[in-house]
Chain A
Amino acid sequence: MTQSSTRPTFLSRIRFRDAGTLLGLVLIAVVFSSLTPSFLTGPNLINILQQSSINACIALGMTLVIISGGIDLSVGPVAALSAVLGAAMMLAGVPVPIAILGAIGVGVVCGFINGALIAWGGLQPFIVTLGGLSLYRALALIFTGGTPIFGLPAEFRALTNGTVMGVPNPVVAVALLALVAWVVLNKTPLGEYMMAVGGNPEAARVAGVPVTLTKLSAYMISGAMASIAAMILIGRLGAAEPTLGTLWELDAIAAAAIGGASLMGGRGSIVGTLIGCVILGALRNGLTLMNVQAFYQLLATGIIIIVAMLIDRATSGKQG
């Protein structure tokens, strides 16, 4: 299954697993475009990307965490906490760019707390971030008294509602972030460390990998991405709800898994995760266009995830 080491062409660089995910997306697109003519139109495709952008933003961070052998269940509440704190700053007259940076800072701090408990405290990622899931949500609710914050400045809303050459700003922003995440994972020592730590933490340590810092970085990046996703959402809604981001973690994990990330750690792909997000987005969009009830959309999502895992299992062989 190894590719020959003669001159790598662009095609041979696309990983086998990513090609499989892409094939899945193409399949879904073919089915929907034959069932409803409005699916394969420019505006609708842009729409799908726009709808997928928030999940993609979360899933990029999640992918790095999963690759380094962890999981981050707290992304939704982290997003909510950054959203309400960021919104409060804006209403208090803090300049918009600084408020955005402040909100991202909140996410980084939450990620640092998760990462510190996991990397230094030696606690299990699932449990730590499950605790975080309640904790950060509670902080967001306590801070706002449970009511949404309205009246975000128009200057901020314009950022998320604008377009670049017809492409919505959030899509452009997430595309840039994905590029950065791809470079980090595939081109930097940190990326190698993440894959090593997730693949075999003990061997990584013996080989001199800074295991603690690697894990910490992954959770901090995930926190930051959650905050950015929150900014995109509240910019579009014009309000920051303390209850936003419910079940975001599951969509993000699903996208990463469809894209080939192994929850055992050590394996995953940014390209795959992005395609995974678009698959989930296209599925929901297509079913909505066909007026399928939301309950069945949930059913379809579940089936897609399980089918993706089965195909994974079948193609990677017994030794898996």
Chain B
Amino acid sequence: MPSDPAPRLSLTGITKSFVGITVLHGVSLTVQPGEVHGLLGENGAGKSTMLNILSGVISADSGEIAINGAEAQINSPRDATAAGIAMIHQELQQVPELTVAQNIFLGGALRRAGGLLVDHAAQEAEARRLLAQLDPTIDVTAPVRGLRVAQRQIIEIAKALRAKASVIAMDEPTSSLTPAEFERLVGVIQTLTDQGVSIIYVSHKMDEVFRLCRSATILRDGHFVTRVTLPQTSVAQVIEHMVGRELSHIQHRSHVTDKVILQIDNLGRGMAVQNASLTLHAGEVLGIAGLVGSGRTELLRLIAGVDAADTGTVRVAGRTLTGSGPRPRIQAGLGLVPEERKREGIIRHRPVTSNVGLPAMRKFSRFGIIRKAALTRRTQELMQEVRLRPLDVDRAIGSFSGGNQQKAIIGRWLAAETQIFLFDEPTRGIDVGAKAEIYDLIEKLAAEGRAIIVVSSELPEVIRLSDRVLVMREGRIAAELSGDDITEGQIARNAIPAT
């Protein structure tokens, strides 16, 4: 490849405002050919807006975009594709019912019979050729519905290659990948960069950023902070640039009592969860670790009553719970903070008050009428406690950042006087600053004598929060770790299936 003096992509002085609020203040970003470049910042720093401008979803108010030194006008997604820019979104945009090949050629089908019919055979052959270098195990005739997230991501990358993209932007690509799948992605990224493709990599996970990126642009509150070269800059320095302050590293503090509050015996559902038994004490934080698909989330959903169990019992304070669905469990003091906030957590058009009060509406009512003033006052108190920002409880919850939505959902269970909090990936998609706040909240809940279960794929998170850790493997609880045994090594050893 001839050496190219101009960068592959450069954005200069990008400014963007929405209804009078400036979300990007003259931000610049440069990526060299074949380079993996990190785009870092807390949620709300302007990363998404940058990606949206780059992919033509929105237009910048001012600033320039140049590809290989030539100025490019990107005013629509079509322009971006034509300029060789592709986006791999966090939430993959595919049609589940169509095959892999059909998805790759979505919107640009290969045709035969004078353009009247879709040439499926040619599409499948071309899809196979594209996937050969990425993941040859993917069956191009299978519907996308049955594939794993990691494989679907590969399909998006194949789609980008098909469009001859020279810049691929990846937004949080690993948020639901297992470590093995991440390794595979690293290999794919290597293949791409060897061919001169440039990658813009957006992630909150510092270990990944340092593994993959040679340079990174850091944004904070819509401003360009700095461009750093990696790994010459330390993780601590990068985080400091992102949050604008130093984060304290607090050690784990235990509040465990010997009062058993939740007892689960032989809980099971199909192959997903088998014979799961556990006890949980007041003031305890119990971590559940394991690979994606090991049954962690499924177990939590069985406990919460969101999915129905085939076998087993759930006892709260000695009383066996009956009835189906989440309602009886909620009345018994259990509350689920789900992983997929948008789908299972928030009612996005409704104000914070309605979202917080939902499980406890009767408590806030008299003679069948909701006492709005009492609900608002209580929500206000709780949101102050969980530090909702901005502290405006009449605003639609959908307009808050992910971290603040999560705080509101925690507040929801506080309003319902929940004693047992079930967290599924409590900090997924939440930025570094808000993450620390969520950890503080979980510890505060424990200190107040509540019991907590945390399911997480981030080992540092599990280790930081838990008094005790259960490791799940293939639907079963494979190990219980406590004290000094709670290490990444021990968890990983027990999580990986024996071959």
Contacts and interface: CB of A to CB of B under 8 A. Distances in A.
Q: Do A and B come from one complex?
A: yes
Contact of B327 (A187, A200, A208): A208
B389 interface: no
A183 B361 CA distance: 15
Give the size category of A's interface with B: 20 to 34
Nearest to A196: B347
Nearest to A195: B350
Contacts of A210: 327
A315 B396 CA distance: 16
B344 interface: yes
Nearest to B301: A206
A196 B19 CA distance: 28
Nearest to B369: A187
Given A5-B392, A187-B369, A193-B361, A205 B330 contact: no
Interface in B275-332: 304, 306, 325-327, 330-331
Given A196-B347, A196-B354, A200-B347, A2 B394 contact: yes
Interface string B374-410: 0000000000000000001111100100000000000
A1 B336 CA distance: 31
A206 B345 contact: yes
A266 B398 CA distance: 13
B411 interface: no
Interface residues of B, number: 38
A204 B325 CA distance: 12
Contacts of B370: 187-189, 192
B348 interface: yes
Contacts of B346: 200, 203
Contacts of B396: 2
B368 interface: yes
B48 interface: no
Contact of A188 (B358, B368, B399): B368
A104 interface: no
B344 A203 contact: yes
A204 B355 CA distance: 9
B348 A208 contact: no
Interface string A205-217: 1111110000000
Interface string B405-436: 00000001000100000000000000000000
B369 A195 contact: no
Given A192-B357, A195-B354, A266-B347, A206 B304 contact: yes
Q: Which of A3, A192, A267 gathers most chain B CB within 10 Å?
A: A192
A193 B359 CA distance: 10
Contacts of A196: 347, 350, 354, 358
Contacts of B330: 207-208
Given A5-B392, A188-B370, A205 B325 contact: yes
A199 B347 contact: yes
Contacts of B336: 206
Contacts of A187: 369-370, 372
Given A189-B362, A207-B358, A207-B412, A267 B343 contact: no
B365 interface: yes
Contact of B344 (A1, A192, A206, A208): A206
A163 B412 CA distance: 49
B343 A202 contact: yes
Contacts of B361: 189, 192-193
A5 B343 CA distance: 28
A206 B349 contact: no
Given A196-B358, A206-B326, A206-B338, 13 more contacts: A2-B394, A2-B399, A5-B394, A189-B368, A193-B361, A199-B349, A202-B343, A205-B325, A206-B304, A207-B330, A208-B326, A208-B416, A209-B359
Interface of A: 1-3, 5, 183, 187-189, 192-193, 195-196, 199-200, 202-210, 266-267
22 contacts: A2-B394, A2-B395, A2-B396, A5-B393, A5-B394, A183-B369, A188-B370, A189-B361, A192-B361, A196-B350, A200-B344, A200-B347, A203-B343, A203-B347, A204-B347, A204-B358, A207-B330, A207-B412, A208-B331, A208-B416, A209-B358, A266-B350
Interface of B: 19, 304, 306, 325-327, 330-331, 336, 338, 343-350, 354-355, 357-359, 361-362, 365, 368-370, 372, 392-396, 399, 412, 416
